[in-house]
């Protein structure tokens, strides 16, 4: 191989090495940025989940609520479960409920406020590995008494689906994403609040469905990932130096 060809080869490999190094470093910096954002999110959620419950925002303020500021806000209110079909939402486990670590369903029920407005309540977890409609029907029947109930829970906002999300099974009234607005539309619950309430209490006497307090349990592996990317960047540089030195000596 001629000297110009060798120089061109070394230059090309050097540029490729610099490109890979820049990519790995950028990924490492991105993970550090995500770690900072995750820590801020954990701090905010910890503060909101530990706060004393406040009155449910009045309907006039509902349109101004947003997930960044209001997700997981603890609220208390009185409402009456509506005698309308409920919905099951499949869960493989929860990141904020330690007692819901296995497969099951969330029981979504519509409820009417004293002023007549409708909102949706996630009444709790049902350990229902077969997503059996009869299991939830029996549980929900005991909840819908027509009597007002004092609730404490957390404001939650609808989840978005992806192309991997299975289609709902309307025969079983089974969904695979907690999008209460889509559920309300499909089951003809009427206009509902833009949020739903993740119920903390009260719990039914038989514990089905099972509401409960939420805890911050978010994974925080970003520092480990950042170190991995920075290590790969260093390894690529070292490999190039060793290779270039060998070429130079020859």
Task: Confirm if 118 and 59 have CB atoms less than 8 A apart.
Answer: no
Confidence of residue 218 (pLDDT cuts 50, 70, 90): low
Residues 6+ apart with CB under 8 A from 183: 87, 89, 108, 120, 175, 189
- Report pTM: 0.75
pLDDT of residue 199: 97
Interstrand relation of 118-126 and 54-55 (parallel, antiparallel or unpaired): unpaired
pLDDT of residue 186: 96
CA atoms within 13 A on the CB side of 209: 32
pLDDT at 2 > cutoff 70 = no
Q: From CA 246, how far away is CA 202, in angstroms rounded?
A: 72
152 pairs with which residues across the strands? 76, 201
Q: What value does the mean pLDDT of the chain take?
A: 87
SS3 at position 201:
strand
Helix axes 222-249, 3-50, angle to 10 degrees: 170
Whether omega for the bond prior to residue 202 falls within 30 degrees of 0, making it cis, is: yes
Q: What distance, in Å, lies between the first and last C-alpha atoms of the chain? A: 12
Residues 6+ apart with CB under 8 A from 222: 31, 32, 34, 35, 38
Largest CA distance in the chain: 91
pLDDT of residue 214: 84
Task: Report pLDDT digits (tens) over 203-213.
Answer: 998 888 999 98
Percent share of the chain, pLDDT over 70: 93
Confidence of residue 46 (pLDDT cuts 50, 70, 90): confident
pLDDT of residue 167: 92
Mean pLDDT, to the nearest integer, of 154-173?
90
pLDDT of residue 61: 96
Q: From CA 40, how far away is CA 157, in angstroms rounded?
A: 19
pLDDT of residue 11: 77
pLDDT of residue 188: 96
């Amino acid at each position: 191989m001629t000297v110009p060809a060798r120089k061109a080869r070394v230059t090309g490999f050097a540029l490729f090495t610099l490109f890979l190094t820049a990519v790995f470093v950028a990924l490492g910096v991105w993970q550090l940025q995500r770690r900072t954002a995750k820590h801020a999110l954990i701090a905010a959620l910890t503060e909101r989940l530990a706060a004393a419950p406040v009155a449910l925002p009045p309907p006039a303020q509902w349109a101004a609520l947003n997930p960044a500021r209001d997700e997981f806000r603890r609220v208390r209110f009185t409402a009456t479960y509506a005698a309308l079909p409920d919905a099951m939402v499949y869960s493989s486990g929860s990141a904020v409920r330690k007692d819901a670590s296995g497969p099951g369903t969330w029981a979504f029920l519509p409820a009417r406020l004293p002023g007549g407005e409708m909102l949706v309540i996630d009444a709790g977890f049902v350990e229902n590995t077969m997503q059996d409609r009869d299991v939830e029907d029996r549980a929900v029947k005991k909840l819908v008494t027509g009597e007002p109930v004092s609730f404490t829970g957390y404001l939650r906002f609808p989840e978005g689906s992806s192309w991997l999300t299975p289609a709902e099974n309307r025969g079983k009234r089974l969904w695979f994403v907690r999008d209460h607005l889509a559920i309300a539309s499909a089951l003809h619950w009427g206009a509902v609040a833009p949020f739903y309430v993740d119920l903390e209490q009260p719990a039914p006497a038989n514990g089905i469905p099972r509401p409960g307090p939420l805890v911050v349990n978010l994974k925080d592996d970003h520092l480990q990932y950042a170190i991995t990317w920075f290590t790969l960047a260093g390894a690529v540089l070292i490999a190039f130096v060793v290779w270039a030195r060998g070429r130079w000596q020859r």
